[in-house]
Each structure stands twice: as C-alpha cells, then as structure tokens.
Amino acid sequence: MSYYLGLLQLIGVHTLLGLSAYVLMLTGQLSLGQAGFFAIGAYSAGILTVIFELPILPALLAGALIAAFFAFLVGFPALRVKGLMLVVATIAFSEFVRLFFFNLSWRVPRGDIHVGPDSTNGFREIRYFVANGWSAWEITTFVWIFVILVMAALWWMDRSRAGAVLRAVGEDELAAQSAGINLTAVKVTAMTAGGFIAGIGGALYAHTATYVDHLTFTVLLATFAISYPILGGLSSVFGTLVAVIFIQGVLVEGLRFLGDWRNIVFGLLIIAAMNLKPSGLFDARTTLLLRRSVGLGGRE
C-alpha cells in the first residue's frame, strides 16, 4: 500500500511541476528552467525545516516564494529573447542552479551529527514528516491538498480575464500588444507564477523523498516538466494531470519490467509521439472525440 501512496505523492509533485510549465506555455513560452525553480524550492524549504527548524507550512511557502523571486529575476533578461532562444537561456539557468547546489555545503551540528546540504553528497536529513510522526496517508493528503489548490486556482484563472490575457499573448503577441496588453508584464507574471508552483512542488518533493542531491534536478527533469503540458495539451489543467498519470503511472511504472532499458524506450516514445501527434496526444481533435465517446457532447 505504501508503494502506491508513494506513487500517488510522486504523481502529485510532478503534476505541480507540469502545471508550472503549463502556465508559461499558455503565454507561448517554452521553459526548460522549471527544474531549476523546483530545485530552489526543494533546497530552500529543506534548509528551513532542517537548519532553522521551522514547521512545514511556513517553510513550504517560503520555498515557493524564493523560487518565485528567482523566476521573476530570470524572467526579465530571459524574456528579452523569444522562442528557441528562451529555451537555451532557461536550460542555462537550470544547469546553473544545479551546479550551485552541487557546490553548496552548509552543515550545522544537530545533536551528535551534522545536518544540511553537503555538496556532492546531497542533502540527506529532510525528515520533517518522519520526525513529527506523519503517516503515509497524511503526507499524501497534504501533497494533494496543494495539487488541488493549484489546479483549482489555475482552472479559475483560465475562466477569468487573466486567462484570456495569457492565451491572447500565447496566440498572437502582436495582436495582444495592439489590444493594449503589456507583454513584458504578462510574461514576467507567468514566469513568476510558474516559479511559485514549481517551488511548491520542489518543497513537497524534498520532504516526501527526505533526500535530494543535484542529480535530481537535471535536464531530464526539465524535459519531464514540459513534456506533460505538451502531451496533455493546453486546453485545460486536466490535460497535464492526465499526462502525468499516463507517463509516471503507466509508462514509468508499467515499463519497470524493462529495467535499465526503460529510458531508451522513453526516448523512442517521445520521438514517436511527436511524429504522430505533433500538437500533443490530447490535441483538440482527440479531446473532442473523447468528449463525444463519454457523452459530454460535441462542444469545443
């Protein structure tokens, strides 16, 4: 049972990661920097609960805010460039953050051991949940409360004026600008919101895994982050959730019998999916077919 709860927690954390990329993709920006914000959230929240002995909730919020702050900072220079240049800039940011934590050593004595990030050896003692006697059920519920909050917020935003503005920028920047939308403000806001969501995800990840090191936050993780909304499509937040369940639940767990060969298959699957369904597995046409087949009518 705890295995499935662990999987459920992982799906929750990855949904947050995917949603952080989803917000940005609504404005037409593709970022491979989400792994960096995720890492900042993970390390900051971990340091706050372990070294400063804060409770989980303020630590988590602080972690998310710190990640959002860095997303805001990265937003300005990075958004001066568009499209593929932004991809390069955000990969560079992500790698920079990874190398920063690769070098970070901040050990403080706690009883007869030392705790804190230990550069290459990783950050091993993020044991807030265990120390406070949380059960696996409680941890899973805690994770999913945040997933549901974020999904609800984004779902509501999508139906408000803000969602229309984001999508307008994503559809056609020039037209959006002509309609009086401040492009820089919109893009930097989306970047900051994305950083905040990734930060929550990272903070939750660090505490559920109890251990993080720089190898957790590679380009592979950043690729996962953008592959969820790309596969799930941008029509709603649920696409991302379905894509996470599909990739983490079905592919990664289902292909476990392949052992080490699993990653090779993962690469091939991405190539195949992009050739067969370049606009995402759940593009407008497929979504329509799905809706009809479950009797939701042919709206859209």
Partner 1 sequence: MGDFWFEFVEITQTIGDGLFFGATYSLIGIGFTLIFGAMHKLNMTYAAASLAGAYVGLAAFTFVNAPALVVFLISALASGLIGLVVYVACFRFIPVNNHLAALMASIGALFFIDEIVVHTTDGSPLTFPAMFEYVMLEVGPWGLRGDLLFVLAVSVASTVGLLYVLYRSRLGLATRAVSQQDVAARLCGIDVHRTNATTFVLAGLLGGVAGAMTAAAVGVLSPLVTVPLTVKGLIVTVIGGLGSIPGAIVAGLLVGGLENVFLYFRGVNERDMYVLLLLFVFLVFRPHGIFGSAIDRD
Tell me which stretch binds partner 1 (CB under 8 A): 180-188, 226-234, 247-255, 287-295.
Answer: 226-234
Task: Rule CB under 8 A: choose which of 35, 46, 75, 95 binds partner 1.
Answer: 95
Does 215 sit near partner 1 (CB under 8 A)? no
β-partners of residue 198 are none
Of the candidate spans 83-91, 180-188, 243-251, 291-299, the one that interacts with partner 1 by CB under 8 A turns out to be 83-91
Is 89 a binding residue for partner 1 by CB under 8 A? The answer is yes
Q: Give 245: exposed, middle or buried? Use CB within 10 Å, 0-12, 13-18, 19+.
A: middle
Which range of residues in 95-103, 127-135, 240-248, 288-296 is near partner 1 by CB under 8 A?
A: 95-103
Q: Among residues 119 and 210, whose Cβ is nearest to partner 1?
A: 119
Applying CB under 8 A, which of residues 82, 107, 114, 159 lies at the interface with partner 1? 82
* Interactions with partner 1, residue window 243-282 (CB under 8 A): 260-261, 263-264, 266-271, 274-275, 278-279
Interface with partner 1, residue 108, by CB under 8 A:
no
By CB under 8 A, name the one of 220, 250, 284, 289 that touches partner 1: 220
Nearer to partner 1, 61 or 273 (CB): 273
Residues 104, 34 contacting (CB under 8 angstroms): no
Amino acid in position 156: W
